[in-house]
Each structure stands twice: as C-alpha cells, then as structure tokens.
Amino acid sequence: MNILVSIAGLAFLILIHEAGHFFVARAVQMRPRKFYVFFPPVLVRKVHNGIEYGLGAIPLGGYVKIPGMHRPAGRDLESHFSAALDDAPSLRARLAAAQITLDEHALDNERAGIALSELRSATEKSHLSENARARAEKGLTDVEDGISGEAYWRAPVWKRIAVIAAGPATNLLFAVGMLAVVFALGVPSEANRTVDVVAEDTPAEAMGLAPGDQVVAVDGTPVTTFDEVSDGIRSSEGEPITLTVLRDREEVVLGPRSAEFDNGRYRLGFIPGLTYESYGPGAAVIEAFKETGTVTVAIGESLSQIVTSDGREDIATPIGIVQGSSEILDQGFRDFLAILALISLSLALINMLPLLPLDGGHILFALIERFRGRAVPRATYERASAIGIALVLILFVIGLTNDIGRLSG
C-alpha cells in the first residue's frame, strides 16, 4: 500500500509540474496539443476540445506538447514523408514546394500555408499504406502547428519564459505550501525523556527498557530532560547503572547494566521520543520559506559534488524516490508530507539546470535569443539537446545503479 501511495505522490508532483506549463501556455495563447503524465507507451488517452490527455506507462516524468517549439524546417517534412514517397513518388513535387517555403530566410506564413494545404490535399488523394499515411499526417500537423500563431518559437521571449518557468515554479510553490502545513502540524523541537525505540541486542533491551517508558532517574539521580538522561549515561563511563522509569503510572527500577562505548560516547541503545512545536499560519509560511532556502543550498552543494563519489551517492531515480518515500510513510503522514515537499523542490531545482531538454535549458536559449536579437540556429538547438540528453542519461544510470545497490542491500 505504501508503494502505491508513494507512486501516486510522485505522479501528483509530475502532474502539477506539467499543469503549470499547460495552464500558463493556454493563458498566453499557446494552445497545447497534448498533456501527459508519465511517458509512452500510452495506457489511457482521451481527446477533449482538441487536446489529447493521457497517462503513460513509464513513470519517469511527463510532458505537455506545445506547438512549434522550434521554427519548422523543410527536412522536418522530408523525414516524415520518406515512406509516403516510396508509395507515391508523385508527391515529391508538392513536398519540394512546401520545403522551399519553410526554408526561406523570412518565413512567409501565407505562402507556406498554401504549399502545405496543397501537399495535404495531394497526400489525401494518394494511395498510401496505413503507416506511410500516419507518418505523413503527423509531419503535416506538426509543421502546420509550427507556423501557426500559437507556435512557441513565434511568441515574445517573456511569454516563452513564463510558460517554461511555470512548471518548476508550481513545484516550488507546492513545496513551500506543504512545508508550511508540516510546520503548522508541528515539527520536532527537542528530544524528551519518553523512550520511542529500543534497539536490539543492546544494554537497554537487556535491562528491560520498553517503548513508552518515561525515564525519571539515572542511577538514582532525578532527571527532567533528555539532556540530563544522556549526561547521566555518559558520566557512568561504562560502570553499571540503573534507570528508574514511569510505566503504567508506576515507578520501575531497571538494571543495573553497563553502557556500551560507541562512536565516542557511552550509550544504552534507545532512541528518545520527540517534543513537537506547532506554528501559526504566518509563522509556518515564514519557516517554510526558510527551510526551502536551506534545502536549496544543500541540493546545490550536492549537485556541485556529482563529480565526486560522495555526490554521486545522492542521486536517485523515481525507483529510489518511491522506495524512500514509502519507507518514510511508515513514520507517519506528517513525515511523508515533508518528504513529498522536498521531492517537489528537488524536481523544481533539477528542471532549472541550464541543459536542454530541461526547462532551464529552454529558458537559457530564450534569453540568448533575446540578447542576440534573432533565433538560435536549429542545428545549435539539436547539438545542445544531444549533449543535455546524454548528461541526463548518465545521471539516470548513476541513480539507477544507486537504487539497485540500496534495494539489494
């Protein structure tokens, strides 16, 4: 059950990320064509008002298809019409005419639209195999979208940045909101005298200490805080000691037993309970922003250390995220909300890395085009995307290796 809840949590984070892109794109008149949670193969799809909504089978992300992410080129058509030309060579003349209009320095929408319309008409009248017709139809639709007024590449830079930044921004706002809820519910402020967990094969287990016991004295000396309990155990220096605990409203003396020396200090082997502090609405939001800033710095430092073995150990794929969050769920719903917030923040920050095809890469290229005063060549986009995809795949392989290692122990 925990695994299912964790998968649902990750799917929800992807959903709100893509929803950020989707709704802002619609708000600035870039009508999306597809909205998917997870990647194909497609499990479920439904077309509503000309937009295809769907759920994929591979839980590695999601996507919103916005028309015309790049200016269309003649070779876009050729790659889709290869099979159609084999079936109907007579289409070559119409195809060449459409390609010429697309490759002109100043794209004339009217001329390109006429050429594409004539190519579509000729394609519909040709005898093509089912596969060739489907590929040709997809190519025509994509290019027609690319020259439409809704095309991403035609929009002012501020609109493009707004659409792309909306995904990470949604994850960031969700992280702050969830952390504010966690602070309102209460966060640990200090350890108390109540025993929460007793470790196996430890002096605490041997002396009969049990979860729920409240330590009131160490070796006969009364204690009122966990710090005093800890100080009493440390000062024993390994000599046998007793613990006086409240159990079912009665005092019980346990021991004597000697504490074990571990990691530079004497320990009996139990974990104390925690005292929680709740915050009001305003204070909870302030603390949430502070925590977001602290975690952002920590994630930034971790990303900067990816080249080292310590940094690589921090990388995880959705497999590791689901496994880790399902374990956290055992500790309570409050802790699950906190980890969900931190995963959402991680998604926001990782997507803002200046690499194509990540959101940060699209924002970087939009800014470059703003300062250049003209579009970045298509070939440059493709080379940058190839490098970015290669780096993302390397990170995925490292994360998958880490996850397999953790799952196998």
Q: What rounded mean pLDDT belongs to the chain?
A: 87
- Which whole number is the average pLDDT over 198-224? 92
Residues 255 and 341 in one domain: no
pLDDT at 16 over 80: yes
Query: Rounded to an integer, what distance in angstroms lies between the CA atom of residue 13 and that of residue 314?
Result: 20
Residues 260 and 288 in one domain: no
Q: Which tops the pLDDT comparison, 406 or 251?
A: 251
Asked if the structure places residue 303 within a domain, the reply is yes
Q: Is 220 left (phi over 0), alpha (psi -120 to 50) or beta?
A: left
Query: Rounded to an integer, what distance in angstroms lies between the CA atom of residue 32 and that of residue 284?
Result: 36
Closest CA to 100 of 114, 88, 90: 114
Residues 231 and 288 in one domain: no
Asked if the structure places residue 285 within a domain, the reply is yes
Specify the CATH number for the domain of residue 206: 2.30.42.10
- Which whole number is the average pLDDT over 331-358? 87
Q: Is 178 exposed, middle or buried (0-12, 13-18, 19+ CB in 10 A)?
A: buried
**Which residue carries 């929803």 as its tokens?**
19
Q: Which tops the pLDDT comparison, 58 or 352?
A: 352
Residues 377 and 332 in one domain: yes
Measured at the alpha carbon of residue 70, what is the angle toward residues 66 and 72, in degrees to the nearest 5? 110
Range of the domain at 354: 180-185+279-408
Residues 298 and 211 in one domain: no
The predicted pLDDT at position 238 comes to 86
Residues 116 and 133 in one domain: yes
DSSP, collapsed to helix, strand or coil, labels residue 161 as: helix
Q: Is the preceding peptide bond at 357 cis, omega within 30 degrees of 0?
A: yes
Asked if the structure places residue 35 within a domain, the reply is no
pLDDT at 2 over 70: no
Residue 165's identity, in one-letter code, is: A
Final residue of a domain: which of 277, 299, 334?
A: 277
The predicted pLDDT at position 319 comes to 60
DSSP, collapsed to helix, strand or coil, labels residue 64 as: strand
The predicted pLDDT at position 11 comes to 83
- Which whole number is the average pLDDT over 336-354? 89
Q: What is the pLDDT of residues 217-274, one digit of tens each?
A: 999 999 999 999 999 999 988 899 999 999 998 999 998 999 998 878 898 999 898 8
Residues 266 and 286 in one domain: no
Asked if the structure places residue 123 within a domain, the reply is yes
The predicted pLDDT at position 149 comes to 86
Model confidence band, residue 80 (pLDDT cutoffs 50, 70, 90) = very high
Asked if the structure places residue 136 within a domain, the reply is yes
pLDDT at 38 over 90: no
Q: Which tops the pLDDT comparison, 58 or 135?
A: 135
Asked if the structure places residue 155 within a domain, the reply is no
Closest CA to 68 of 156, 150, 164: 150
Residues 217 and 98 in one domain: no
Q: What is the pLDDT of residues 83-105, one digit of tens each?
A: 999 999 999 999 999 999 998 88
Burial code (b: 16+ CB inside 10 Å, e: under 16) for 213-230 equals bebbbbbeeebeebebbb
- Which whole number is the average pLDDT over 291-317? 75
Asked if the structure places residue 32 within a domain, the reply is no
pLDDT at 314 over 70: no
Residues 287 and 265 in one domain: no
Residues constituting the chain: 409
Q: What is the pLDDT of residues 157-166, one digit of tens each?
A: 999 999 999 9
The predicted pLDDT at position 79 comes to 87
Residues 196 and 105 in one domain: no
The predicted pLDDT at position 398 comes to 78
The predicted pLDDT at position 76 comes to 87
Q: Answer whether 0.85 is exceeded by the pTM.
A: no
Residues 264 and 299 in one domain: no
- Which whole number is the average pLDDT over 312-341? 72
Q: Kindly report each contact of residues 208-216 with a partner whose C-beta sits within 8 Å and lies 24 or more positions away, as own/partner.
A: 208/254, 209/243, 209/245, 209/254, 209/268, 209/270, 210/247, 212/247, 213/245, 213/246, 213/247, 213/252, 214/245, 214/246, 214/247, 215/243, 215/244, 215/245, 216/244, 216/245, 216/246, 216/251
The predicted pLDDT at position 142 comes to 92
Query: Rounded to an integer, what distance in angstroms lies between the CA atom of residue 223 and that of residue 241?
Result: 14
Query: Rounded to an integer, what distance in angstroms lies between the CA atom of residue 375 and that of residue 24?
Result: 23
Q: Which tops the pLDDT comparison, 179 or 39?
A: 179
- Which whole number is the average pLDDT over 366-395? 86
- Cβ atoms of 207 and 243 closer than 8 Å: yes
Residues 81 and 122 in one domain: yes
Query: Rounded to an integer, what distance in angstroms lies between the CA atom of residue 159 and that of residue 342?
Result: 28
Asked if the structure places residue 65 within a domain, the reply is no
Query: Rounded to an integer, what distance in angstroms lies between the CA atom of residue 386 and that of residue 393?
Result: 11
Q: Per the structure, how many domains does the chain have?
A: 3
